[in-house]
Structure 1
């Protein structure tokens, strides 16, 4: 199995995007088990040489995922004019890097292959591999196949992620969102909170954590899942719901 290489420049964006370069392996018939130990092997550079290391995580607990998302602390603020050349531009900032480090430290993770202390960059990279998800395009039917009358009341989503260092595929079948669920999703996406800013007398707008509510909406819409040894972890539920509801919203509103 080839192993990932950490360059130190990869973004850490949390539960809906893959961070880092995952190990390239042939898809295996392995089910994702959120309650099992996971080991991620990759290479990291020190003084011009590459070293192979392993990061080990225990079960992914929903409470830890929620704490991680809250710790990312996304805020809306005014962008610098030199950044956007626009007086009305808005900047989104977050503390995702520090949140990943805190998750690693608090989750009981461990590492192998280090002579001493594990670097914060390596911790953040490993957490990115743990939480990374991507969605696959569905198979296209041949032009000779006619579109059936039934089946438009639900959607199938295929997720690609890493489990224990291996690339695995899971899927979820979700019911068409109701108008009320679309409205709830739009409200969730548009919500901001006024919080104390980083400067004296300043008020910032914070993007509230959404994973818990998205996971609840997943539970309302899910018909079936496949590719899991047991429960669907909260960050997967949130990713499935976000992808599905965005698609449903676009189908209705056109944007």
Structure 2
């Protein structure tokens, strides 16, 4: 998916005003997944995409998360890690001063980096047929009618065990990992300047500790059908 998706995004971002539509009923369909650390959001997103793809006669749903940083970095001619680090810093002024010190032709302001990431998320959400995991996508795409916004939660013990199993960590290491990622996600939201602009609303919140993967997929598929986000017959935009 890598290069073809990046080429698609590059074309879309170069089009004239691709991120704003007069009628948000024309945007999507898109699914966003917000999750607590240790809820296996990416795993569920990929499984859900497989189910949804069986409903399409052509094209396919994509699962996007880290790809958003890669494409943003490509647009900015930066290393993807520099984009990621922008959203991990808690002191925005100091970080800006450090970047300015480089005096590099490749230097991009923090505000431009943040704006680009938001535009990439919004472009993907408007074009639709994608499941966006994290990246505050539920807020950035909150005005899109043909959207389903999900929140995955779980008891701390469940999340610790998941991190231990997935990352081969001991209990203390898993707890430290959860705390670290929680801080990074909070910094990301702060950098986007979205947290105080709009309230967070989800169509469905699921306790991962109460259901198997298949049961969660059944719940999501049921909600997709009931909300009717697939009933809008917008032509599928080909990404590949």
TM-score range relative to shorter protein: under 0.3
Structure of larger gyration radius = 1
Q: Which has the higher helix share?
A: 2
User: What TM-score do you get using the length of structure 2 for normalisation?
Assistant: 0.23
Query: Please, what TM-score do these two structures have when normalized by structure 1?
Result: 0.22
